[in-house]
Amino acid sequence: EIVLTQSPGTLSLSPGERATLSCRASQSVSSSYLAWYQQKPGQAPRLLIYGASSRATGIPDRFSGSGSGTDFTLTISRLEPEDFAVYYCQQYGSSLPFGQGTRLEIK
C-alpha cells in the first residue's frame, strides 16, 4: 500500500509569506490521482487541488500544486488570514488515501 507522508507537521508563518507544503509518496503516484484539501476547525474538508496542479472551482490562484512521481507540493503564494488551517494530500484509489496533514499556523 502506498503511504503519503506530509511535511512539516506544523508550519508557522505570517500573513503575506509564502507557504510550501510537501507530500511524499512511498511509491510513485500518478499525478492525475493526487489531490489537496483544506480543513478549518469545525468544518468539513474542502477540495483545493486535483490532478496535482488543477485548482478546484472557486479556489484562489494563490494556491498552486505541483510535483510528480513521489514528491508533490502545495504552495500558497501569499498567505491570507483565512488560509491558516490543516492541509491534507490524497491519492485516489487507495485504502490509505490521506496523508497525516500539515497544520499551517500563524506565527
Partner 1 sequence: EVQLVESGGGLVQPGGSLRLSCAASGFTFSSYSMNWVRQAPGKGLEWVSYISSSSSTIYYADSVKGRFTISRDNAKNSLYLQMNSLRDEDTAVYYCARDHVEMATIGDYWGLGTLVTVSS
CB 26 to partner 1: min, Å: 17
CB 62 to partner 1: min, Å: 20
* Identity of the residue numbered 66: S
Q: What is the C-alpha separation between 21 and 84, in angstroms, rounded?
A: 13
Residues recorded for the chain: 107
| Residue 85 backbone dihedrals phi, psi, to 5 degrees | -170, -175
| 67 vs 99 by CB, closer to partner 1 | 99
* Interface positions, 84-103, toward partner 1 (CB under 8 A): 86, 88, 90, 92-93, 95-101
Give me the half-sphere count of Cα atoms (radius 13 Å) on the Cβ side of residue 79: 20
Report the DSSP beta bridge partners of residue 86: 39, 103
Interface with partner 1 (CB under 8 A), residue from 28, 32, 68, 77? 32
Interface with partner 1 (CB under 8 A), residue from 22, 51, 53, 64? 51
CB 63 to partner 1: min, Å: 15
Q: What is the C-alpha separation between 85 and 51, in angstroms, rounded?
A: 21
Binding site for partner 1 (CB under 8 A): 32-35, 37, 39, 43-47, 50-51, 54, 56, 86, 88, 90, 92-93, 95-101
